[in-house]
Chains A and B, each alone.
Chain A
Amino acid sequence: MNLKRFNWEPYLLLLPSILYLALFFAWPMVQSFGLAFRTDDGQLTLAHMQRMFNDVGFTKALRNTVMLIIAIVPLQFILALIMALLMMERLRGSNMLVYIYSIPLAISDLAAGIIWFSIFTERGYLNSFLYSLGVIDKPFLFLNYQTKWPLVAIVLAEVWRATSIVFVVLVAGLQSIPRDYVEAAEVFGAGWFARVWRVILPLLRPSIQTALILRTILAVQVFAVVSAIAGRGMTVLANEAYLWYREYRNPHLAATYAMFILTISLITAFIYLRALRTKEEMIL
């Protein structure tokens, strides 16, 4: 009787996405787990992991990835928040901002990397522009690996490319905050800053959480932009995974790097979830 009343419908509707996730995410993940911890003959081993940690590329890649996360994520978050608040002010034409901010979302990260490479390269747009203004008399080497300029170019490219992801999430969150709260605060004499700090930000917490998790995980995986702008001058974790698979043809090491990236992503997601708990969640 009970069984008859059981509503299968939602599960049926979920089935395609579950199958999709199982086939294209869970299964490859299990496979790469196997590659990372097994030898060619199927023996369990930690040798690949040991080799990864001892590899000269590893420390560099880890350091650069962390450096990029620290440089990019807060910058993007603050920018996106300002953009989102600006948008909520409902100024004339502010609706257009959504579309303008979202343009880079439509561009692949590799394409974005190539665009910024063509800006910063020796005979690129920036040098041509500076030359035509008479600021420089010969091209300045922005992409000189011995300087910090490639890093600046990568941060700029990433900020340009992916700030809108954070922005879109925050706008959605802001739209769900009832106007009444803000208006009430205004009636009680709260200034703009106080309204943002005491009313909007606390209510926005779930969106901030989502945005930060999403953005940080994407930053852990950063690859194409770095590769296009810095080439072999700078390596990141995803780049090492790629090189081990494509260039050095060792799928075990590539999978080990992938597992490492997955672990960092999980840890960051966990930290964000703990750090940004709402009051109700803390009781649990």
Chain B
Amino acid sequence: MRKFTSLLAVVVIASMLLTACPTPTVEPTPKPEEPTATPEVADYGKVAFISTQCVPVEEAEKMRNVILADFSGTTEFIPADYATFEDTVLAEVKAGKGTIDVIGALHGQFPTLLDANALQDLTPLLDKVKGRGIPDAYMELGKLGTDKQYFIPWMQATYIVAANKKALDYLPEGADPNALTWEQYRDWAKNIYEATGEKKVGFPVNGLIHRFLEGYIYPSYTGGMVTTFKSAEAVEMWKFIKDLWQYVHPQSMVYEFMQEPLMSEEVWVAWDHTARLINAFKERPDDFVALPAPSGPKGKGFMPVVVGLAIPVTAPNPEGAAALIEYLTRPETQITTLREVGFFPVIDVEYPDTIAAGIRAQGEAVSAQAAAADAIPAMLPVGLGPRSGEINKIYRDAFNGIVVDGKDIETVLEAEAQALQTLLNETGAPCWPPDPPSTGACQVK
């Protein structure tokens, strides 16, 4: 009996603790006015929309309550990380019966789905989005190397540099913050360290640092991503990263989204995905500046990220799905999307004044980066199919070996180049930009 009462007490205390936990403080989103139904169609019914983007709770809530609110129909927004997303869609296709109507995913996440015959041909939908001003290059990406349209570009993002204005005082002499070189970036970090005694430049090592390696520093220093993996330029590049790393905040290993350490001022300067920096710009637009990524000896490597919309073959409501795609690519929806979740429009739009200054600043940095004379756009790996995650491990392992563990650069590159070549051979992936096109599997030189 005694034991029973003690057990009971434990349970009571536990449940008290659980209920005492504060409710999550999700930013209250202003409830939009009643959706004004478009005259043509009253209601498209229920449309289920799974997306690998806008997954964080706050962004998902913005999707549900603001961005999708005006759609004439009921939308069920399902945010999912890549693993869950892929498993769900492929399982539905395998079962021949689905619940998902619309897919929102990164350009690089579609080939696996196409391989599994999971995607509908959206060519008939082209009429609806024609004249919206989606760049041809992006539409071409949506064909996934075929002559059919498999996804319609939805929104875009990229990675840029965010800096606290306090850091600008420490810029190396004569450096233009909008046209930095990576060497100047290192000197900047060094100046800050020497003046303040603190390492205030950060990288999201627990986040998307593999994109920094693949799409920024490699193309900037070697002109390629894969073919130049262990080139002499790559060796120089790794020496440079090691040098830079002396002035990088040691807690970078834990950083997932750089907006948080930026806002707590643990770091002053950070490279990250625009959507992972946006809160800093939104909440304190006067404190931060958005800068295009620096350039290296070969140019300004950068990675444009294109998010597309597709319809799975098993969609129970294809009309609703097509209507939702049309809705999401309307200029007003694209502006709302930018304002709420920080993804940039894929269509030609003027930024109205309702867009916060911080976001406009980000947008300008994005455009400046893409339009730079020395720009080297690097695409996400596409031909690797279901194994596209493994390439990230190779770049990360090289980083861990060389920078974290301090191993010999050539030895690490030799071993990782072998792993990379094996992956390329096994998947037969041809080279993708910035590497020159290849016949057959891409070869590490």
Chain A residues in the interface with B (C-beta under 8 A):
56-57, 95, 98-99, 102-103, 105-107, 117, 121-123, 138, 141, 143-146, 172, 175, 229-233, 243, 245-250
Contacts and interface: CB of A to CB of B under 8 A. Distances in A.
13 contacts: A56-B397, A105-B10, A105-B14, A123-B264, A143-B253, A172-B3, A230-B253, A232-B254, A245-B83, A246-B82, A246-B83, A249-B390, A250-B387
Contacts of A107: 17
B75 to A, nearest CB: 27
B256 A231 contact: yes
B59 interface: no
Contact of B81 (A57, A99, A246, A250): A246
A141 B250 contact: yes
A248 B401 contact: no
Interface residues of B, number: 37
Nearest to A229: B254
Interface of B: 3, 6, 9-10, 13-14, 17-18, 81-83, 86, 197-198, 205-206, 250-251, 253-256, 264-266, 386-390, 392-393, 396-397, 400-401, 404
A106 B387 contact: no
Given A98-B6, A99-B13, A105-B14, A232 B390 contact: no
A232 B206 contact: yes
B264 A95 contact: no
Contacts of A233: 205, 253-254
A17 B430 CA distance: 52
The 6 A-B pairs with the shortest beta carbon distances in the complex, nearest first, are A231-B254, A233-B253, A231-B206, A249-B389, A106-B14, A144-B250
B18 A145 contact: no
Nearest to A146: B250
A141 B404 CA distance: 17
Given A106-B17, A123-B265, 18 more contacts: A98-B9, A102-B13, A103-B13, A106-B13, A106-B18, A121-B251, A122-B264, A138-B198, A144-B251, A175-B3, A232-B253, A245-B83, A247-B392, A247-B393, A248-B389, A249-B82, A249-B387, A249-B388
Nearest to B18: A106
A139 to B, nearest CB: 8
Contacts of B205: 231-233
B307 to A, nearest CB: 19
B389 A99 contact: no
Contacts of A121: 251, 254, 266
Contact of B253 (A56, A145, A175, A246): A145
B230 to A, nearest CB: 16
A50 to B, nearest CB: 13
User: Mostly helix, strand, loop or mixed at chain B's interface?
Assistant: helix
A183 to B, nearest CB: 19
B393 A98 contact: no
Contact of B390 (A56, A246, A250): A250
A95 B6 contact: yes
B403 to A, nearest CB: 11
A224 B358 CA distance: 35
Contacts of A175: 3
A103 B251 contact: no
Contacts of B3: 172, 175
B7 to A, nearest CB: 10
A240 to B, nearest CB: 10
Given A106-B13, A247-B393, A248-B392, A231 B387 contact: no
A32 to B, nearest CB: 15
B85 to A, nearest CB: 11
Contacts of A249: 82-83, 86, 386-390
A245 B393 CA distance: 12
A105 B13 CA distance: 11
Contacts of B86: 249
Most central of A99, A172, A246, A248 by chain B CB within 10 Å: A248
Contact of B254 (A95, A123, A230): A230
Nearest to A145: B253
Contact of B251 (A122, A243, A245): A122
A141 B251 contact: yes
B229 to A, nearest CB: 16
Nearest to A175: B3
A114 B18 CA distance: 16
A56 B419 CA distance: 11
Contacts of B250: 141, 143-146
A258 to B, nearest CB: 15
A145 B400 CA distance: 12
A248 B390 contact: yes
B23 to A, nearest CB: 15
A99 B6 CA distance: 8
A175 B3 CA distance: 9
Contacts of B198: 138
B13 A56 contact: no
A99 B9 contact: yes
A248 B392 CA distance: 7
A250 B86 CA distance: 13
A242 B118 CA distance: 26
Contact of A57 (B197, B390, B397): B397
B338 to A, nearest CB: 28
Contacts of A123: 264-266
Given A98-B10, A232-B205, A246-B81, A56 B400 contact: yes
Contacts of A57: 397
A106 B255 CA distance: 27
Contacts of A138: 197-198
B163 to A, nearest CB: 18
Most central of B13, B197, B386, B401 by chain A CB within 10 Å: B13
B413 to A, nearest CB: 13
A115 to B, nearest CB: 12
A99 B266 CA distance: 38
A230 B255 CA distance: 10
A105 to B, nearest CB: 7
Contacts of B393: 243, 247-248
B381 to A, nearest CB: 12
A233 B203 CA distance: 13
Contacts of B401: 56
Contacts of A122: 251, 264, 266
A142 B412 CA distance: 29
Nearest to A102: B10
Most central of B10, B14, B81 by chain A CB within 10 Å: B10
A194 B393 CA distance: 56
A60 to B, nearest CB: 9
